[in-house]
């Protein structure tokens, strides 16, 4: 599959006219433990306002890109107050609260003191995640999809840890991978699909949906 950074075409998503597409195939790179990466492609297509909050984490990102066999064994120190603050700011303001009942705005009161305490608990090994609040989302077929809503503080920690791991593993993802990656979404996948089917001969397209993919295995 090919990737291009343009808006979705009218034939795929209404009201989103396509810009000039640049068809760039994902080239293989040296593997890290069997994975193939994207030579010549940025490790993350960053969204507006997305910045590196830590020079140390940026060095990890560079090392992961240049040294494919590098093993990272000491990463916890990157989870500092600055990264936790970045993670907090990246959360959805109006998201539902978890079992703690704390909203984004409520946690923002005395934010720096809260984040300092959270960082200290993480590094002392005293941080403990709370259970997720279970809710059920109706499906079109009448069934319900279970959804776990984490506590606000747990969302912050999860996002911060994801930033550290993304610095390493974003270098190994293929260019046509779009699911659950920073700076990418469904419209980016549609853009790539549009380029793929209009810039080269295509005889067939497979549209598949894995039933219960995010549900626990029976």
pLDDT in tens, 144-154: 988 999 999 99
Residue 88 has pLDDT above 70, yes or no: yes
Neighbours of 115 (CB within 10 A): 22
Instruction: Report the distance separating Cα 58 and Cα 166, nearest Å.
Output: 11
Pairing verdict, β 144-149 and 133-138: antiparallel
Task: Name residue 148's beta-bridge partners.
Answer: 134
**pTM of the full structure:** 0.68
- Residue in this structure with the two tokens 């020079």, named with its chain if needed: 55
Taking only the tens place, the pLDDT of each residue in 3-27 is 444 443 333 333 343 443 333 333 3
User: Which has the higher per-residue pLDDT, 53 or 12?
Assistant: 53
Instruction: Report the distance separating Cα 128 and Cα 100, nearest Å.
Output: 13
Task: Name residue 32's beta-bridge partners.
Answer: 35
Per-residue CA distances from 120 to 20, 79, 152 (Å):
49, 10, 17
- Residue 217 is predicted with a pLDDT of 55
User: Which has the higher per-residue pLDDT, 4 or 160?
Assistant: 160
What counts of helices (H) and strands (E) characterise the chain? 6, 4
- Residue in this structure with the two tokens 């469904």, named with its chain if needed: 186
Nearest Cα to Cα of residue 86 among 182, 3, 5? 182
The answer to whether the CB of 182 falls within 8 A of the CB of 47 is: yes
């Amino acid at each position: 599959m090919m990737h291009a950074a343009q808006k979705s075409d009218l034939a795929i998503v209404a009201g989103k006219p396509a810009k000039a597409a640049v068809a760039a195939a994902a080239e293989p790179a040296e593997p890290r433990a069997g994975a193939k990466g994207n030579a010549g492609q940025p490790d993350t297509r960053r969204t507006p306002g997305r910045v590196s909050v830590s020079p140390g984490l940026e060095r990890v990102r560079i090392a992961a890109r240049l040294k494919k066999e590098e093993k990272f064994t000491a990463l916890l120190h990157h989870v500092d107050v600055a990264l936790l603050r970045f993670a907090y700011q990246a959360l959805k303001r109006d998201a539902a609260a978890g079992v703690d009942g704390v909203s984004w705005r409520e946690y923002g009161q005395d934010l720096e003191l809260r984040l300092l305490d959270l960082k200290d608990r993480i590094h002392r090994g005293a941080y403990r995640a709370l259970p997720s609040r279970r809710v059920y989302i109706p499906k079109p077929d009448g069934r319900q999809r279970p959804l776990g809503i984490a506590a606000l503080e747990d969302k912050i920690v999860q996002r911060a840890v994801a930033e550290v791991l993304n610095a390493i593993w974003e270098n190994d993802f293929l260019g046509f991978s779009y699911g659950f990656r920073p700076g990418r979404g469904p419209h980016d996948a549609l853009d790539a699909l549009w380029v793929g089917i209009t810039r080269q001969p295509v005889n067939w397209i497979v549209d598949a949906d894995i039933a219960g993919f995010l549900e626990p295995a029976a």
